[in-house]
Structure 1
């Protein structure tokens, strides 16, 4: 009897790498000539997985976000995992912008992925297990087809394929 092969579809972010990128961005803000005395500040809450940027103007906030994004990419963090909210007016003319780091696959996105896999007519079984999906099939080739299909899709967050057995 052929043993079933499987893999998990997950969306995880290494928060230590996010913290490292954040520290590098903070250092660059303190050293960069155009941002050094601008009054821009950044903060990271690792427990809630949120970042905040406060700046004297919207233009400066966009520059700071660009610095953070550059550091995240260099550390191997997909920018699709960071969702920036709209900028909000703060005291005086300053602005504040927050971002959240998305981890785990939400139920509606998981069901959309499940529906898309079933629409391909590839002979696999998909089970939603909390914030991940388990895809199993008797054929490893079918699993490879599913991975290739999912890599071509965009679900608004990065997906990883782990526990391939």
Structure 2
């Protein structure tokens, strides 16, 4: 039996599911009556999604449709980091949504300090784009997972490599 137990806190997004959600959203937009003869479109790039529509109201509706499709595919809407809505040519509005994949150093430090403030007997280690939490007791690790699930860090968190 191992003397210490650990798990990793990660923020990963399945890009195939994102692609499927975008395709479903495009299909719904093309079929909806209120989007007939509009310039609404969603384009997926390497690690971001470009959304364009006729005006800000329709743009917000397209974003909500996309978020709904992401949720149905098991992806948290927090995985999208929406930029600022910009005015584009011909009176259209556009926004760029960055896909959050991995935990930034700042977020990892924030999560680690939150774990440290919980006064549980665990150690944290920041590794590239994830955070490893280790302890001598499995119960402490389960308490950390429960505590992190209650908090909102504005990114989707998954817990992997539990051993």
Residue 135 (structure 1) aligns with: 133
Deviation at 1:115, TM superposition (A): 1.0
Residue 34 (structure 1) aligns with: 34
TM-score normalised over the length of structure 2: 0.96
Runs of 4+ that moved beyond 4 A: none
CA RMSD of aligned residues (A): 1.2
Secondary structure of the corresponding residue to residue 136 of structure 1: strand
Secondary structure of the corresponding residue to residue 112 of structure 1: helix
Deviation at 1:116, TM superposition (A): 1.1
Deviation at 1:2, TM superposition (A): 5.4
Going from structure 1 to structure 2, the CA distance change for 1:2 and 1:44 (only over 3 Å counts) comes to closer
Going from structure 1 to structure 2, the CA distance change for 1:4 and 1:58 (only over 3 Å counts) comes to same
Q: Give the whole-Å Cα distance in 2 for the aligned partners of 1:7 and 1:59.
A: 43
Residue 7 (structure 1) aligns with: 7
1:115 to 101, 113, 116: 113
Structure 1: 5+ residue runs without aligned partners? none
Q: Give the whole-Å Cα distance in 1 for the aligned partners of 2:55 and 2:113.
A: 44
Secondary structure of the corresponding residue to residue 33 of structure 2: coil
Q: Give the whole-Å Cα distance in 2 for the aligned partners of 1:130 and 1:67.
A: 33
Q: Give the whole-Å Cα distance in 2 for the aligned partners of 1:161 and 1:100.
A: 22
Q: Give the whole-Å Cα distance in 2 for the aligned partners of 1:68 and 1:2.
A: 44
Q: By percentage of residues, which structure has more helix?
A: 2
Q: Give the whole-Å Cα distance in 1 for the aligned partners of 2:157 and 2:96.
A: 23
TM-score normalised over the length of structure 1: 0.95
Structure 2: 5+ residue runs without aligned partners? none
Residue 159 (structure 1) aligns with: 157
Secondary structure of the corresponding residue to residue 38 of structure 2: coil
Q: Give the whole-Å Cα distance in 2 for the aligned partners of 1:21 and 1:53.
A: 14
Q: Give the whole-Å Cα distance in 2 for the aligned partners of 1:19 and 1:8.
A: 26
Corresponding position: 1:21 with 2:32: no
